């Protein structure tokens, strides 16, 4: 089983509001995709792992069906460095493949806040 991660990144920005008054923080998300060429032992799932600052242990972030070749990480923070890798997994035999290549990405600086409630004076 071979999984190759490639950098096809999309960033989304959402403003988090507290009590509808002022934006408290902007949450970011990062999308990734991978290629998968099955062999005679077909996987049932992919496991996505992440490592913060690209040091320490990789932590399981998500398990997605083998028909899904994309994942969006909605828990990333601006300016942080992250590393991800993906494995294939067979739910029947409980076998997990070796890791894919490591995808390394430095999140950009948080964008400027957008003016709101523009109105006539």
What are the contacts of 10-13 at 24+ separation with CB within 8 A? 11/108, 12/72, 13/111
* C-alpha angle 9-30-62 in degrees, rounded to nearest 5: 115
Q: What is the pTM of this model?
A: 0.75
The pLDDT tens digits for 71-117 are 999 999 889 999 999 999 999 999 999 999 999 999 888 888 888 88
Furthest-apart CA atoms within the chain: distance in Å: 69
Q: How do 81-90 and 70-76 pair as beta strands? A: unpaired
Mean pLDDT, all residues of the chain? 82
Distances (CA, A) of 119 to 17, 77, 114, 115, 116: 20, 32, 14, 11, 9
Hey, where are the domains in the chain? 2-106
CATH of domain 2-106: 2.60.40.10
């Amino acid at each position: 089983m071979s999984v190759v991660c490639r950098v096809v990144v999309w960033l989304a920005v959402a403003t988090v509001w507290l009590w509808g008054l002022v934006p408290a923080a902007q949450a970011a998300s990062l999308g990734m995709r991978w290629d998968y060429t099955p062999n005679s032992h077909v996987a049932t799932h992919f496991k996505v792992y992440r490592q913060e600052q690209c040091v320490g242990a990789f932590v399981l972030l998500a398990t997605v069906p083998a028909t899904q070749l994309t994942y969006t990480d909605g828990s990333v923070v601006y300016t942080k460095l992250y590393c991800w890798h993906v494995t294939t997994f067979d739910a029947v035999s409980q076998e997990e493949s070796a890791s894919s290549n490591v995808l390394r990405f430095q999140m950009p600086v948080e964008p400027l806040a957008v003016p709101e409630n523009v109105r006539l004076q």
